[in-house]
Amino acid sequence: MSTTAIPSAAGSGSAATDKFKGNRVSSDTSKERAAAIYKDVLTKLGEVIFEHEVTYAEYRVLKQWLIEIGDGGEWPLWLDVFLEHFIEDSNSRIFTGTKGSIEGPYYVPDAPNLGSKGTMPMREDEKGTALVFKGQVRDLDGAGIEGATVELWHADSDGYYSQFDAGLGIPEWNLRATFSTDAEGNYEITTIQPAPYQIPHDGPTGEFIASYDGHPWRPAHLHLKVTAPGKRLITTQLYFQGGQWVDDDVAGAVKPELTLDPKPNAAGVDEVTYDFVLDPV
Ligand code: MBD
Ligand code: FE
């Protein structure tokens, strides 16, 4: 695991900001709903300010910090680490399939499709322990779904995500791929086990964390998006049982149902089975 060479917040952050900006989003929120939400947010914020007697110095520091987060391109990072888990929990409350988790700032659509079984694109000398990750995608009735899509992306063992490496030269689709399940709904992926991950903290997000004496660590994780025609897209993450930071994720994105416990297979390679259950749309 790397503890020193991590992507700079400015480098990976501005790449995430640029990618997000390139894809304009909208929502059909009514004026009534917008009014209700903004009033509640400000009322609750006001309560916190009174409760803690927030000072003018603190207010000015907040203003300065908010400006710096924007200037440094760190909004995707800060928001996905500190706020997204509330959105995800709230949105997924009514679903009964596999649990979701946050997407984070480093997803890229349209990664190469490798069929139902394959090895993640990786460099010849990719560091890390091999992992065979396989399973079945099913509907709520337990039937395997043929042609379900399993997208997987994760960091390398130094904590870098391809396309967010601030010019390090990691190949474009390194450790990113799409799989399509076979006739029985099965997939099988060979990859490397990611290491615990420090979010970039050399910028204002790091200042924020230092201000309350926190840590910037996330447990080692795999990011996934799984879907099929007529099924709800599930965005989730998988962690490793007993791994460092599983109980203390800076992004608050671990759920007990989302941990893996790989064991050596007949060939001596760590292997784990994880089945996905998709809700109907
Ligand atoms: C990550 O890799 C991540 O998963 C999250 C949530 C935030 C920053 C970097
Ligand atoms: Fe991540």
Residue 240: is it exposed, middle or buried by C-beta count within 10 angstroms (0-12/13-18/19+)? buried
Contact assessment for residue 174 and residue 121, using Cβ atoms and an 8 Å cutoff: yes
Q: What is the DSSP letter of 144?
A: B
Q: Which of 80, 86, 103, 236 to mutate to test the pocket of ligand 1 (most atoms within 8 A of CB)?
A: 80
Ligand 1 neighbour 197 (Cβ under 6 A): yes
Whole-angstrom Cα distance, residue 24 to residue 15?
16
The DSSP H or E segment spanning 220 is none
Residue 168, pLDDT score: 86
Q: Which residues contact 91 (CB under 8 A, 6 or more apart)?
A: 100
Using DSSP's 3-state secondary structure scheme, residue 76 falls into helix
pLDDT in tens, 31-41: 999 999 999 99
Whose structure tokens read 């996330």?
218
pLDDT in tens, 153-203: 999 998 899 999 878 899 999 999 999 999 999 999 999 999 999 998 999
pLDDT at 241 over 50: yes
Q: Which ligand 1 atom sits closest to the C-alpha of 253?
A: 6
Residue 251, pLDDT score: 98
How high is the mean pLDDT of the chain?
Answer: 94
Contact assessment for residue 121 and residue 127, using Cβ atoms and an 8 Å cutoff: no
pLDDT at 14 over 90: no
Query: Token pair for residue 198?
Result: 């420090």
pLDDT at 3 over 60: no
- ipTM topping 0.95: yes
Contact assessment for residue 146 and residue 278, using Cβ atoms and an 8 Å cutoff: no
Nearest ligand to the C-alpha atom of residue 199? 1
- Tell me the pLDDT band of 1, cut-offs 50, 70 and 90: very low
Longest dimension (CA), the chain: 64
pLDDT at 10 over 90: no
User: Which residue's alpha carbon is at the smallest distance from atom 1 of ligand 1?
Assistant: 104
CA–centroid distance, residue 192 to ligand 2 (Å)? 15
Residue 259, pLDDT score: 97
pLDDT in tens, 125-142: 999 999 999 999 999 999
Ion ligand 2 neighbours (CB, 5 A) are 104
CA–centroid distance, residue 101 to ligand 2 (Å)? 11
Ligand 1 neighbour 194 (Cβ under 6 A): no
pLDDT in tens, 84-107: 999 999 999 999 999 999 999 999
- Tell me the pLDDT band of 6, cut-offs 50, 70 and 90: low
Is the pTM higher than 0.95? no
Q: Which residues contact 225 (CB under 8 A, 6 or more apart)?
A: 103, 107, 149, 150, 151, 233, 234, 235, 236
Residue 4, pLDDT score: 45
Ligand 1 neighbour 105 (Cβ under 6 A): yes
Nearest ligand to the C-alpha atom of residue 77? 1
Residue 2, pLDDT score: 41
Whole-angstrom Cα distance, residue 75 to residue 151?
24
Q: What is the DSSP letter of 113?
A: B
120: left (phi > 0), else alpha (psi -120 to 50), else beta? beta
Ligand 1 neighbour 80 (Cβ under 6 A): yes
Nearest ligand to the C-alpha atom of residue 249? 1
Residue 199, pLDDT score: 92
Query: Token pair for residue 83?
Result: 């706020």
Identify the sign of the CA torsion 56, 57, 61, 64.
positive
